[in-house]
Structure 1
Amino acid sequence: MHSWGGDQVEEAVAGCVAALRPAVDRDWTEVKASGLEWSCHETAFHIAEDLIGYAANLAGGAKDGYVPFEITLDEGTDNTGLLHLIESMGALLAAAVRTAPREARAFHPYPFRSANREGFAAMGVAEVLAHTYDIAGGLGLEYEPPAALAESVLTRIFPHVQPSPDHWRTFLWATGRGELPGRARLTEWRWNNNLVLPTDRLTLQGITPAAARDLAAGGDGGFDWIEGGPYDGTREASGFMLKAYEEGLHRPEFGVFALVRREDGRAIGGIGFHGVPDEEGRTEIGYDLTEPARGHGYATEAVRALSDWALARDDVHTLFATIERDNIPSHSVVTRAGFRKTGEDEEGLVYELGR
C-alpha cells in the first residue's frame, strides 16, 4: 500500500485555490458561506487554521490538547493573500505528514483522542473539501473535487458511512451538506479516526476500510510486517470487514486490529471481532500471529487487552472464541487470558469470558 497523505493534502489545497481564485476581487466578508453562519472570508481563514493546527499537533506529538497558538492575518491582507495562506498552511501539513514516523500519533478529540499521520491528512483534506464547497456555494462558483480524493477520505475517517458509487455526493451527505437517495439527511456528523489500544509490548491498531481493502487484495495495508506477514487469517478478516463496510454494517470499534510491536513498529498479526454484539451482548473474537512471532506471549497480551476494552463497554457482556481442536497453543492463549471452555461445535471448542 503506497504512502498516503501529503500528496492528497496538496491536491485538495490546489483544487480549493483554483476554485476560489476567480472570485478574489469580491468582498468575501460580506457574503456568507453556504449553509454556515460564517462569512466566506471567515471560512477560508478557518481552513488555514485547521491545516496549520493539524500540522502542529502531528509534528509536535501533542498528547493532551491542541498546541496553544493562533495565527492572524496582517492588516490589509486581500483575498489573494488569504489563498496564499491556505497554500502555505497546506504545504506545512503535507510536510508534517510526509516526515512523521509511521507510528506517530497525536491528540485529536474525536472519537478516541488521537490520530495517526493518515488521520491528520484525511482530516485536513476533509476540511478543505467541505469548506471550499461552502465558500464556492456562497460565491456562486462551481466546485467538485476528484471523486478519488473524496473516496480516500471516506475510507479513512468515515468508516461508519456506507459507500455509494458517487463518492463526492457521499462525502457531502456524510458531512451534513447534501442528500443521498434512501438516506435521511444528517443534521449532526463527525468523522472517526481509528481506535488504538496499547499494551506493554504492542499496540492494537484499528484497520480502516482503506487498509482492509489493500490487505484483502494481497497488500500490506500500510503496515511494516515482519517476515511471513500478514497471515492468512488477517487477510480473510479484512475481507469480511470490507464486506461489512460496503453493506453499511461496519462499526469501526468492532472491526479488525493489526498487532504492532512497540519496540520496532512492525506488525506481527491481527485480532478483532467477528461482528457487533448481539442483543444479549455476545460477540466473538479471533486472532492470528505470523509464525516468527509465536511463542512469545503476544497473542495472550492482545487477547487480554481487547477483552478488557470490550467488557468495559455497556453493550458487551460476553466474549467467546472458537478454537480448532488440534490448535493446542491457541487453547492455551485463551485460557491464560481468562476464558473458560463452555462447549463445542463442529468448528471446535468454544471458550467464553464474561464480566
Structure 2
Amino acid sequence: MERAVADAVALLRTATDRDWETVRAGRVEWSCRHTAEHIAGDLIAYAGQLAGRAQSDYVPFEITFDEGTGNDGVLDVIETTGVLLTAAVRTTPPEVRAFHPYPFRSANREGFAAMGIAEVLLHTHDIATGLGLAYEPPADLCEDLLARIFPHVRPGEAPWPTLLWATGRGELPGRDPVTEWRWSNTLAIPAGRLTLEGVSPAAARDLSAGGDGGFRWVEGGPYAGTRDAAGMVVKAYESGVHRPEWGMFALVRREDGRAVGAMGFHGAPDADGCAEIGYDLAEAARGHGYATEALTALSGWALARDGVRRLLAMIERDNLPSQRVVTRAGFARVDEDGDPVAYELRS
C-alpha cells in the first residue's frame, strides 16, 4: 500500500498546478479532481470497515474536504488515508472479515489491502491519462493484485496491461474487450468450530513454494497434501480455468485463528453437475472431528448451487479414518472393488 500511494502521489504532485476540475479522468465519467477525491474516500472507507469489523453494510460515514482544498491538499489526504488503511490491515488478525458487497459479502485484510491498491493504481492511471502523464506501476505489485482479487482472470504476458484490460481500460491481443467487471474476494463458509477460508492464487502460490499462504498454522501444518493442492490452484489460475468458489479452502479454527488443514474441489462442476472434493489435515489436528464438520458444511454449500447434482470423493482403500469422515458427512460408497474407493453425495 505504501509503495502504491507513494508512487501515485509523487507523479500527481508534478501536475498540481493544472486544471483538475474540468479535465475528464481517462475513460471514467469523473473529472480528475473527483477521481482523486474518490481514491481518498475509498481508502478511508476500507480502513473503517476493517477497524469497525462491519458485518452487514458499510459503516455510515464518508470523508469531506475543507472548503478551498487545492490539488496538493487532496494528495495530502490520499497519503493520510493510505496510512490509515495500512495501519488497519496490519492490526487486523488474518481470520477477521468485514463487509464488502462483491462478490461474497465480505473480505479479509488481504482483500481490503488489494482493493485499496487497485483503487490507487487504476484511478491514478485515469487521472494521469486525463492530464497527459505517463504512469506504469511496478509489475510485481500488479501481478500480486491480479492473483488476489482477479482470480478469474488468466494472467497475461505483462501484469499492468492485463489489469487495465480486466478493468475495461485497455485491450489485449486475442481477448474480447471488457465492458463489465468486478473483482472477486475470497469466499468464507462457516463450519461449526471452523471457517472455510478461500485460498487466493497468490496465497496458493506461496503455499506451494513452502510458505504459510498468509495463514497461521497449527504445529506441523500445512500438510504435504495442502501444498500439492495449492499447486493445482496455481496451475488452474495460470491456465485461466480457476473459479475461486470451486477452488481451495483453508480450515481455520475459530477459537484461535489457526489453520488446521485444507479442503476443496478439483475444479468446477462438470457438464453432469458433478464436482470432486478432497481434503487433508495437519497431523496435530486429526481425531477432533474437524474434517467431518468442514466436509458437511462445504458439501451443503456446493449442493445448494444451481446445476450441482452430486459430489465425489476418492479415498484410498487403506485410509479408513478418511472413509469414516465421508460416511459421517453423508457420502455413500458407490463401488466395492476400486482403489481409490469412490464415495458420492447427491442433492
Structure-1-length-normalised TM-score: 0.96
State whether structure 2 residue 267 is matched by structure 1 residue 275: yes
What is the CA–CA distance in structure 2 between the aligned matches of 1:291 and 1:23, rounded to whole Å?
A: 58
What is the CA–CA distance in structure 1 between the aligned matches of 2:275 and 2:337, rounded to whole Å?
A: 16
Quote the residue 2:277 is aligned against. Answer: 285
Contact kept, 8 Å, 2:95 with 2:252, in 1: the verdict is: no
Describe the superposition over 1:274-318 as per-residue Cα deviations: whole angstroms up to 9, x where unpaired: 111111100100011111111111111010000000000003110
Equivalent residue in structure 2 for 1:152, among 121, 124, 144: 144
State whether structure 2 residue 181 is matched by structure 1 residue 198: no
State whether structure 2 residue 309 is matched by structure 1 residue 317: yes
**1:12 is matched by which residue type in structure 2?**
A
Give the match's secondary structure for 2:335: strand
TM-superposed deviation, 1:181: 1.2
Describe the superposition over 1:160-190 as per-residue Cα deviations: whole angstroms up to 9, x where unpaired: 1111220111111111111111111100000
State whether structure 2 residue 339 is matched by structure 1 residue 347: yes
**2:103 is matched by which residue type in structure 1?**
P
Describe the superposition over 1:108-158 as per-residue Cα deviations: whole angstroms up to 9, x where unpaired: 000001000110000000001000000000011111111111111111111
Q: How many residues align?
A: 347
Q: Cα–Cα, structure 1 residues 345 and 178, in superposed 2: closer, same or farther, change >3 Å?
A: farther
State whether structure 2 residue 90 is matched by structure 1 residue 98: yes
Equivalent residue in structure 2 for 1:297, among 289, 303, 307: 289
**1:60 is matched by which residue type in structure 2?**
G
Structure-2-length-normalised TM-score: 0.98
Quote the residue 1:32 is aligned against. Answer: 24
Give the match's secondary structure for 1:308: helix
What is the CA–CA distance in structure 2 between the aligned matches of 1:345 and 1:182, rounded to whole Å?
A: 47
Give the match's secondary structure for 2:84: helix
Describe the superposition over 1:34-66 as per-residue Cα deviations: whole angstroms up to 9, x where unpaired: 101110000000000000000000011001111
Task: Structure 2 unaligned segments of length 5 or more: list them.
Answer: none
Q: Cα–Cα, structure 1 residues 344 and 25, in superposed 2: closer, same or farther, change >3 Å?
A: farther
Q: Would you identify which runs of 4 or more consecutive aligned residues in structure 1 move more than 6 Å?
A: none
Contact kept, 8 Å, 2:303 with 2:310, in 1: the verdict is: yes
What is the CA–CA distance in structure 2 between the aligned matches of 1:345 and 1:235, rounded to whole Å?
A: 30
Question: CA RMSD, aligned part only?
Answer: 0.9
Task: Structure 1 unaligned segments of length 5 or more: list them.
Answer: 1-8
Give the match's secondary structure for 1:51: helix
What is the CA–CA distance in structure 1 between the aligned matches of 2:268 and 2:245, rounded to whole Å?
A: 9
